[in-house]
Amino acid sequence: MPVGPSLCDKLLGQIDGEPLDAYDDRTLEILSIQQNVRRILNARAGALKHLPDYGLPDLTNIYKALPASAHLLKQQMEATLLVYEPRIRSIDVEYVDNPDPGILVSYEMTCHLKKAGLVRFGTYFEPPGRMRVQRIQGER
C-alpha cells in the first residue's frame, strides 16, 4: 500500500506536476493520500477481480435515487477508504448541499491520518460518473 508519493511520481520527481522538493514531508504524504483517495473513489467495484470490493459500485442507481441514496454512498466511501487507504485511521464524511448544477452530489471528508494529523477533502461527483477530490485548507 502507498506510504508516500506514488512510484510513478518518485520516478518523475514530481507530484501533480510540481517537483517533490517543493513540498515538506507532511504535505507530500497528504498529496499522496489525496491521489490514492481519488484513484479508489474513481474505480468501480468489481473491476479488479482480485479485489472485488476495491472502488465504489456503479453510481448510476445511486444518482437516480438522490438525495435519498446520499447516505448509502457516504457509507460506501467510508468503508472502502478505511480498507484501501491504510494511512487513514478514521474518517468522517458529511453530505454537503452544493448548488452547482454540474455537481450531482458532494461530501466533505475529514480524515484522521495515522501520521500527518487531520486533513479535509471535498469530494465532488460529476457526470459522467467521475469524482474530483480537492484538499480543503483553513478553518470551517
The residue among 100 and 76 whose pLDDT is bigger is: 76
- State residue 6's pLDDT score: 52
Average pLDDT, the chain: 84
- State residue 13's pLDDT score: 67
**pLDDT confidence band for 2 (50 / 70 / 90):** very low
CA pair distance 76, 96, nearest whole angstrom: 16
The residue among 19 and 102 whose pLDDT is bigger is: 102
CATH class of 7-136: alpha beta
Give every CB contact of residue 113 below 8 A, 6+ residues apart in sequence: 29, 30, 33, 87, 88, 89, 119
Q: Is pLDDT above 50 for 3?
A: no
* Residues 100, 125 contacting (CB under 8 angstroms): no
Give every CB contact of residue 37 below 8 A, 6+ residues apart in sequence: 81, 85, 109, 111, 121, 133
**pLDDT confidence band for 58 (50 / 70 / 90):** confident
Q: Is pLDDT above 50 for 26?
A: yes
Tell me the whole-structure pTM to 2 decimals. 0.81
